[in-house]
Amino acid sequence: MASIKDYYTWEIELKSGAIIKNGNNFRPEDVRRISYIPGIILRPCYDIVFLDIAFVKRFSRAFMKTETGYFEYLHVLVTDKFRFYLFSSTGRVLITDKNYELYL
């Protein structure tokens, strides 16, 4: 079974048409699209296209509650207008204000 970290992969399309699948060697203003691609059948795919919004950063965060054994891996996308949280365990998405920090 795959690690929860691998339930989703991401790719970034730049305005030049180049596709980036790892690392951060690009300028934020060059981002055209970010996609989150499921590694598990029946999970939704997400595409965020940057038209009237500006990409700020993307990162991942892992949470673990030892007393319950609960583990979650979040993909986080920050724009100038909102934050996009993708929960790897379920494929669920939460969209919040750009200044909202989610803590589990």
Tell me the three-class secondary structure of 60-73, residue by residue: EEEEEECCCCEEEE
pLDDT at 41: 82
CB atoms within 10 A of CB 62: 12
pLDDT at 103: 76
Phi, psi of 78 (to 5 degrees): -110, 130
**Residues 62, 75: Cα–Cα separation, whole Å:** 9
Return the beta strands (E) in the chain as ranges.
Answer: 8-14, 19-20, 31-38, 46-49, 55-65, 70-79, 82-87, 93-97
**How confident is the model over 18-71, as pLDDT tens digits?**
999 998 889 999 999 999 999 988 889 999 999 999 999 999 988 887 777 778
Does residue 21 contact residue 9 with C-beta atoms inside 8 Å?
Answer: yes
Tokens of 17: 């048409």
pLDDT at 65: 75
Question: Domain locations in the chain?
Answer: 4-97
pLDDT at 42: 85
Is 1's pLDDT higher than 70?
no
pLDDT at 85: 95
Give the pTM.
0.86
As a residue count, the chain comes to 104
Summarize the confidence of residues 6-12 as an average pLDDT: 93
pLDDT class of 76 with cuts at 50, 70, 90? very high
